[in-house]
Each structure stands twice: as structure tokens, then as C-alpha cells.
Amino acid sequence: MRITLNGVSEDCAAATLAELLQSLDLANAAIATALNGSFIRRDQRAATPLHEGDAVEIVAPMQGG
């Protein structure tokens, strides 16, 4: 299926958000996630299925003012 990952359309074989992060080697990284504009807690990732057309955001600490 195709999803939008951080604004870029990509093929995705992962069934859940947790699997997607595993495939990106970000499962244990300092990140936070959102699906279709809604925050997904760390403990909800494994129970969050991905569907065709989903928009996933993965954010990390960044410099800020």
C-alpha cells in the first residue's frame, strides 16, 4: 500500500505503526508519532493499523526558539 511518510508518498509493507518504525530502525529512537493528524502514544503504536492513504508523521527533537 501507499502511505505518506513525513510528507513523502512511499510504499509500505508494515501492518502497524510499530512495524513501520521497526522497518525504519526508529523503534527505540527518541521520536513521537502522529497518524492522520492525531497523536499516537508510544504504547498505542503496536495496536495502530496502517491503511492505504494514511499520513504518518515521525518527529524528533530539533533546535527551537
Minimum CB distance to another protein smaller for 16 or for 34: 34
Quote the CA–CA distance of 64 and 40 in Å, as a whole number.
23
User: Is there binding between residue 26 and another protein (CB under 8 A)?
Assistant: yes
Cell triple for 42 = 508510544
- Applying CB under 8 A, among 1, 2, 6, 9 the residue interacting with another protein is 6
**What phi-psi label fits residue 6: left (phi over 0), alpha (psi between -120 and 50 degrees) or beta?**
left
Residue 11 in 3-state DSSP?
Answer: strand
Stretch that binds another protein, among 11-19, 23-31, 47-55 (CB under 8 A): 23-31
Chain positions contacting another protein, by CB under 8 A: 6-7, 24-26, 29-34, 37-39, 41-42, 57-65
